[in-house]
Amino acid sequence: MRTGSLQNLLADRSTDAAIPEIGMGVTLIRWTDRQAGTIIEASKSLHRIVVQLDTATRTDSNGMSEAQTYTFERNPNGRTEVYTRRKDGSYRESGGTSRCVLGVRAAYHDYSF
Q: What secondary structure, in 3-state letters, does 33-46 show?
A: CEEEEEEEEECCCC
- State pLDDT tens for residues 4-25: 444 544 445 455 568 999 999 9
Structural domain spans, the chain: 6-15+22-102
CA separation (Å) from 112 to 2, 9, 38, 98? 18, 17, 27, 19
Can you give the pTM of this predicted structure? 0.83
CB 47 within 8 A of CB 85: yes
Taking only the tens place, the pLDDT of each residue in 44-81 is: 999 999 999 999 999 999 989 889 999 999 999 999 99
**E strand residue ranges, the chain:** 25-29, 34-42, 48-53, 55-58, 70-73, 80-85, 91-93, 99-102
